Each structure stands twice: as structure tokens, then as C-alpha cells.
Structure 1
Amino acid sequence: MNVWFAASEAAPLVKTGGLADVVGALPKSLAKRGVDVTVVMPKYGQIPAGVTAATTGKGMFQVSLGWRSQYCGLEEVTVDGVRFLLIDNEYYFKRGSLYGYGDEAERFAFFSFAFMEALCREERLPDVVHCHDWQTGLIPFLMRTRYAYHPGFEQIRTVFTIHNLMYQGVFSRDLLQDLLSVGDDLFGEDGLEFYGAGSCMKAGLRYADKLTTVSPTYAGEIQTAEYGEQLDGVLRQRAGDLLGIVNGIDTDSYDPMNDVNVKVPYRNSLAKKRLNKTALQQELGLDEDGQVPLIGIVSRLVGQKGFDLIGEALPALMEERLQLVVLGSGEPRFESMLREACERHPGRIAVWFGFNEGLARRIYAASDMFLMPSRFEPCGLSQLISLRYRTVPIVRETGGLRDTVQPYNEYTGEGNGFSFGPASAHDLLHTVQRALSFYEDEDAWRRIVLNGSRKDCGWDASSKEYHQLYRELATG
């Protein structure tokens, strides 16, 4: 089985979020099942020099984007046993950050065409092309339109995975028609048209052979008006081709016994875990107290992640015996809220604005609880990392959070975390208070942590589902 991944980022080469973790870890798990995966992604300036120095040139060619003709270099490198093909064009990809530019449509249209041209030059064609999120949504479209008659392409099947439906790659119709050199016939209701504009996400949804998203619950949610981001009708039409497969994490990388960022390695010892808490308290200027419950948050500071609920509940939360540590960046209103909270509660709240991978892992290791009150969450990886680091998740029941966190039942002793349904500050506060009450019961808390340690957070089960999907597609 030969599969090509198309993605805008992948760990360990470059990462801004969970997409990179998935694209980095899933190929390694699939390889154990005999699947040969090639990851195709842009050659960003942020890729470590050690990686780019090890690449081998695979060719150079021109890519046409409407009236433009742009250089493209193709480079190959193997990292952690996975073959990467890097699309090289410094004008589009050697910039200060991965995303956030005014020419995003052109950048990722170029990437999509370059992917197809790289495919044209490959001696061994893949059985399946697996595309990830809107940045690659044009690839299934090109496969079935502009490149439909290329020899061998009729045998290639495509999978398109929705990692977050909110981000859709919507651009003006005129711009996309220019970049793709297509007429009005492909911009109808059954094509790329999206409320007068054009959508790269919709291109993937319409033209891929199969669709997946990153949890079973989210697969159902996005077929509703509440969560469907105006694409719920398209998703309902393709419900028979839509599968929810929950993400995993790289359990070799996220291992508190072997993580170099963790001060005191541990597995199931809460006493050793507590030493990491006091070390983090020292590092961030919190009051040093190994017994006080520490709640961690590693997140983008945006409304989707429920920071408005946290803001409403914060005054009451700070009346409880707890400490709070937050790592992330995002909307100015939430950053200001957290700055003010730090000033009001010195020694009890610590915030690091930005992202720091090492600090994130130390927060997972040090925290007793991990808070994720997301308004929606396609899958979420933080709750899985938390469980791996023996940290008890507190989540809202949505998407992958609902699929992976089982609320604790004090009567049966089952459950690996705490959860609430309504997106309200009241329910968030009540659930945190409930978790705090069980934290004071050492036997109950140890039971909850032990339950969490039994959760399989890895990719084995999920990669089995992807493998089965690929085989079904490849055999018709």
C-alpha cells in the first residue's frame, strides 16, 4: 500500500498546531502496518537546517498559476523513517511565519499544483492521496479536473480530512478562477462556489472520494447548522462517505518517563509528579506548595477554546484553593484578561504568552488537572497528552473531548476525567469544584489517575481504521 499525504505542516519539521502532530505521527503508525507513506509539504524557512542540509534534489520545474509561471524545486529527505518531499519556492514559503499573509490563495494553489506536478514525475504512483485541511482541498479538485486524463491517475483514490471546519480557505471567485484557470462551469452549487466566493475546503468535500474528520462525535456535529459552518448541507449529502476517526498522539514522544523537558521522570508515581509541580512553581513564580491543586491550560486564547467562559468563572474560581498556569496566545481581549488576573492574584496565576514546546510539556507534567472548556473541539490532543502525563482532564462535552474523556462516576469508580455539557461559566465552575473535591480524597484521585493511565492514547487503533479505509478505496 502506497499513500501520499498532502499537508501544510508536519512534526518534527515545522509545527503551529495539532495538524502537524497528526501528520507527523500517523505515517509512523501506518508504517507498522506495511503502509508506505510519503508526506508532501512546503519547504518553509522554519524547517531546521539539519533537515534541509540532508535533502536530495529530485528535480526542478515550472508551475503555472493562471498567467503566472513559478519556479518549483522538489527535495527529498527521510526523517524518523518517513519520506518527505519538500516543495521549494522561497517567494511563497521562506517567510516569517507559516500562515497569515494576503496571498494565501496563491500560496496554496501553487502548493496544490506543485503537488500534482510532483505526482506526474513519480515512477511509482500512490494508491491513495490523503489531503489534510483547506490548504490541500484543491488537490482532489485538480485530480478530477485538470489532471483527470494523466496516465494512471484514474486509479488513484483521494481522502480529504477535516481537522477544523471553521478554517475553510474562502477567497474571491475571480481570484480562484484566475489561479486555477477554470470557467464558470466549475463554480456552481455543486462545485467550488460558496455564497458568491470560492472555498478550498468545499473543493475537498466535493471532489475527494472519501471524507474523514478527527472524531466520531465531530463527524455528526458538522452535519448540523450549529457546527457545520454553512457547509452542513454538503456534509449531509456526503454523509455516506464521511467517517470520524479519533486522533492519537505519538506516545514515544509524549512519555513522562523519557521526556527530556520533564525535570523528574515518572510513570505512575504521584509523588514524583508532585516534584515537577514544585519545579514549575519555582520556574514561573507561583507560591511553592506541592499540595495545592494546579490547573494547566495550553491553548490558543480564542473564543472557540472557551476563554470567555473562563473569564466569567475566574473570580469565583480564585476563591477556591488552586493555582492556574496558562500557556498560549490569541485574541487581545483574552490576553488582557489574563494579565489583569495575574496582577490581582500574584503567586496564584502564571501566564506565558506565545508558545514554548518545552514549557508546554512541563505544564502537562506538573498540573494535577487540565482545563479545556471548548465551545467546539474537532478532536483535541491536549486531553490525550494530559492523560499520558497522568493529568486529569476537565472538558466540555463536544467533539473529540466527548469521545476520549469519560466523566468520573464515584459510585462505580469508572471515568478518567470530568466534563460538562452546556457552554456556561456556571457549569464550568461547578465541574472544577467537583474535581477539586475529589482531589482532596487521595484514594479517589489515585483511582481517577489510574483510570486515565489505562487509556490508549496512541495511534494504533486509529491507524488500523485508516488502513482499512485505504484498502477499501484501493480495491474499488
Structure 2
Amino acid sequence: MVKGEASSTRSLPASMHIMQVAGECLPYSKTGGLADMVGALAKSLAGQGHRITVVTPLYKACQLDLAETTLMDWDLEIWMGGELIKGRVRHLEVHSNLHVLFIEQPEFFGREGLYGEGGADYPDNAHRYTFFCKACANLARYWPEPPQLIHVHDWQAALVPTFVDHQHLYEGWASPPKTILTIHNLAYQGNFPGKTFELCHLPESYFRPETGEFFGQMSFLKSGMVHADALTTVSPTYAREILTQDSACGMEGILNHRKQDLHGILNGVDYDDWQTENNPFLDHAYGPQQLDGKAQQKALLQAKLDLVVSDKIPLFGLVSRLVDQKGMDILLPALNATLDRGFQVALLGTGMPHYQEALERLASRFPKQVAVTIGYSNALAHQIEAGSDFFLMPSRFEPCGLNQMYSLRYGSVPIVRNIGGLRDSVTGLQEDPRQADGIKFQAFSVSALIAAVEEALKLFEDPPRLKGVRQRGMQKDFSWDLTSGAYLDLYRSLLKKKA
């Protein structure tokens, strides 16, 4: 990895205008951690005096009062495959430094879901997000106060650097913004049939193996990786992992070609939302020096989920998408093999039907030990984090992960695989017993996970040691005000090169 250059120079302004582009953003829309990251990063950067403009689709599902927005005098007219698609722009001023532009196109975004429904992607996602990316490039070029940098996130926004590059080279955009692409999860690439390229109205040079073509398909993410000025991922370890054939999802060629421009920056946590004091979802406050409230939260959670209420029974929590990536295929057999030890499990999540059904069957077999809630509840997520003794994250791969950071702050000892952002944020008992704040295991196997659960049960039987592990985790700081500094260093290094 190449670290960013010096973060200050006399020729650069103290304050920057940065456009953040993403398919989702809290508190307006969310399917996963991408939304958390974009919303928190924008909030942190704006709080440090930078002008932040977030651009995101106006979904039907957006948590937004349209009366609080202003319909801009800005008509979008985007050519796509010989058809002129129109849209509008709504503006929301969150505060003087933080603005959100919503791309309004009801045919594309006025649906129940963000990317799909009923477990299936929308068949016209290529059309939807080509339109979105073209609209964002249009705004960046012609907005009265154009940004100095455009930071785009994941495949839904990854064509923006491509369109910026094309307009610079072929359409007279003399001094476009620098572009940064953050890869939140390389497994999701936005790959579509090759004919999708016709929607872009770009020269054929943009659809070659060295550009946006990927085994005959049009790849949004690969095109962005080729044309962005810098690439980031959401943890240092994941940045190294995706350079290898095992983790690159077929993109090892372009990633190794661009490895000098690839930066791993660990995500942060918005502690305004994730805190154990003054939390509207928790009945009892607590902190590292006063843990009584955590014991009370555990009893409340056990009662709420109809589990046996006892402080003598270890409680393992899990809040997750129920998919292969999150290790459901090793979690289920591991639980089946160890629940006779008498511990409890509180699980919240949704995902693949076969995992949902298997977990519900497990709960029916162990009704006083296992509570499974299919769906998502922000309140219950906080309550599981607060009420659990341990938190399970047996991921197959994990670019960053946020729940382990929440768990650390909530005093729920994380049990994680030693990969990606989990490796970068948790210190395991076997790694450094005096500084440990969690439990790690290496192999992606049922036996390795069982061994980690056994290690947790042994820790639970040693209350003074467990208290020390909890307290160290609760005192860790992953705040965005710290993490955003790495992005500011990168932004300034790019502007310095431009200057």
C-alpha cells in the first residue's frame, strides 16, 4: 500500500468541496453498511468545516419528508441507448456545510426496494444506475459551486469516474474534479450483459479488457477502478487480501495494476448513534467503569425473547444478513454441536430462505436457549449488542464489518475470523492476552468456530478476566473524526498532484 502524501500545503485551501456519490445513505436509505459509512463520513467531514454534497437516488423507500426538500430548477435530460430519459433534482440542506441532492426519476427509483425485491435484483439495474451515474457527472460539471473531488462508493456509483474521464478527454471539461472510488465489497461488481455498454454512449475504447469489459460483460466496478484517480477499500487487511487471486473475485489484474493507488482505510463508528449512555433503545445506561446496566440489559433481553433469565447463562448475540458471506454455513452446524453446553443465542437478521428456515428450526428445538427474529429492528439490534456477553461474526470474508466495533463499545466480546476489517479492529486472546478485547479464529471451518465458542465459555467462567476484556473493548475509539483524517490526507494528496 502506498500511504497518502503530506496532508497540508500552502497552495491548497483549508476547506474543500467534496461530492459523495452512493446508491444509499443514512438516514435516508439503507440495505447495508455502505449507507452507514457514507452518512457518517459526510457528517464527520462537514463537521470539520468542509463543504459536503451527497448525491443519492430518491427512492420510494427513502426516509424523507419531501416538504423539507427544494425542487431545483434543474432538468436532467440523459441520453441512454438512443432514448432521452428525464429526471429532476431535489435539494436538502442538512446544515450550512452538508447538502444532499436526491436524483428523482420515478420510473427507475419509485419502487418498493432499492436494488430489488423478493431476493431478486431488478432486471433494469444497469439502466437505473447508468442514468444515476450520468446525472451525477452532469451535476459535478455544471453545478454553480462545482466540487473539487468526487468520492464514489461501490458499483452503483462506479461509472461516474468513467464519465468524468470521457468528458475531460472528449467533451472539453478542462479541469474536472479528482475522483476516488471506495470498494466496500468486491463481490458486488455491477456486471451486466455486454450490450449494456450501449447505454453509456462512450467510444469503444471504454469497453475493452483493459477498461470496462469483463469476460464479455460490462462491469461498472471495473470501469470505475480503471478510471478513478485513487481507489480505497474499507480496511487495510482487505486492501491486501483483494490483491490475491483467492479474494480478488476475478479482478486481480486491474487491482495489482493499480496497487500503488489503492489505500485501505478502516471504517469508523458514529458514536452519536452507537452509545451505551443516553441511548433511546436502552433502558439502562452503563460504561466501562460501571457495568451494572449491562447486566440489567441482559436480563431485559432474555425476558423479551422468552429465554431463561439468568446472569449465570452465557448469551451469544448475532445481528447479520443470513448469507454465505457471513458464515451461516459453519454457524448452524457449530451451534447444533455445542448448544448442549447450555448457552443462549439471540439472533436478528434476514437473508437466504434456507438459512432463515434452518435457524427457525433450531429455535424450535431449543426454545429457551435460541431466539431467532427474522427481519430487522434497529431497537432490537442495539438491545442485542447491549445484552449479549459475546457477539458472533464467523464471516467467510469481511471487507470491514461494523458490528464488531459496535460490540466492543457495548462490552459484548466479539468472536471473529481473523480476516479483513475484523483482523484490523479486534485483538484476540491468543494474540495478546494482556491487550485482548475479543476472540479470533483463523480457519473457515466448523471445528475452528466451535473452538472459539469453547474459548468464550471458558472466559465466561472467569469473571475478572471477562471484565478486563470487556473494559478494554469499550475504551477503544473508532470514531469517524479519527478515521476521516485518512480520507482528508488522501483528498489533499490528490489535489496537491492536481495543483
Q: Compute the TM-score of the two structures, normalised by the length of structure 1.
A: 0.97
* Structure 1 partner of 2:249: 229
Consecutive unaligned residues of structure 1, counting only runs of 5 or more, are: none
Match of 2:49 among 34, 39, 50: 34
Which SS does the other structure have where 1:243 is aligned? strand
Match of 2:69 among 55, 70, 75: 55
* Structure 2 partner of 1:441: 462
1:401-429 residue CA offsets vs partner (Å, 9 max, x unmatched): 00000002598521110000010111111
* Structure 2 partner of 1:253: 273
Residue 342 of structure 2 contacts residue 369 of structure 2 at CA under 8 Å; is this kept in 1?
no
Match of 2:215 among 195, 201, 223: 195
Query: Could you tell me which amino acid in structure 2 is paired with residue 96 of structure 1?
Result: E
1:349-388 residue CA offsets vs partner (Å, 9 max, x unmatched): 0011111111111111111110000010000000001111
* Structure 1 partner of 2:109: 93
Which SS does the other structure have where 2:19 is aligned? strand
1:252-298 residue CA offsets vs partner (Å, 9 max, x unmatched): 11111121011212223332111111111121111121331111110
* Aligned counterparts of 1:375 and 1:153: Cα–Cα separation in 2: 45
Q: Does 1:220 align with 2:240?
A: yes
* Structure 1 partner of 2:284: 264
CA shift at 1:8, angstroms?
Answer: 0.5
* Structure 1 partner of 2:11: none
* Structure 2 partner of 1:77: 92
Query: Could you tell me which amino acid in structure 2 is paired with residue 22 of structure 1?
Result: M
Query: Could you tell me which amino acid in structure 2 is paired with residue 455 of structure 1?
Result: K
* Structure 2 partner of 1:102: 123
Q: Does 1:421 align with 2:442?
A: yes
1:194-215 residue CA offsets vs partner (Å, 9 max, x unmatched): 0111100101110000000000
* Aligned counterparts of 2:413 and 2:432: Cα–Cα separation in 1: 18
Of 223-232 and 332-341, deviating more is 332-341
Return closer, same or farther for 1:12/1:411 CA change in 2, 3 Å cut-off. Answer: closer
* Aligned counterparts of 2:25 and 2:312: Cα–Cα separation in 1: 38
* Structure 2 partner of 1:359: 380
Q: Does 1:463 align with 2:479?
A: no
Residue 218 of structure 1 contacts residue 399 of structure 1 at CA under 8 Å; is this kept in 2?
yes
1:420-468 residue CA offsets vs partner (Å, 9 max, x unmatched): 0010111111111111111111110110011101211211222111001
Consecutive unaligned residues of structure 2, counting only runs of 5 or more, are: 1-15, 117-121
CA shift at 1:61, angstroms?
Answer: 2.7
Residue 168 of structure 2 contacts residue 175 of structure 2 at CA under 8 Å; is this kept in 1?
no
CA shift at 1:64, angstroms?
Answer: 1.4
Of 240-249 and 121-130, deviating more is 121-130
Q: How many residue pairs end up in the alignment? A: 474
1:100-151 residue CA offsets vs partner (Å, 9 max, x unmatched): 2110000000100111222233122211100000001110000001454556
Residue 7 of structure 1 contacts residue 40 of structure 1 at CA under 8 Å; is this kept in 2?
yes
Residue 190 of structure 2 contacts residue 219 of structure 2 at CA under 8 Å; is this kept in 1?
yes
Query: Could you tell me which amino acid in structure 1 is paired with residue 235 of structure 2?
Result: S
1:31-74 residue CA offsets vs partner (Å, 9 max, x unmatched): 24332111000011112243x22001222231211212112111
Of 232-241 and 261-270, deviating more is 261-270
* Aligned counterparts of 2:495 and 2:98: Cα–Cα separation in 1: 21
* Aligned counterparts of 2:93 and 2:24: Cα–Cα separation in 1: 15
Q: CA RMSD in A?
A: 1.5
Residue 57 of structure 1 contacts residue 74 of structure 1 at CA under 8 Å; is this kept in 2?
yes
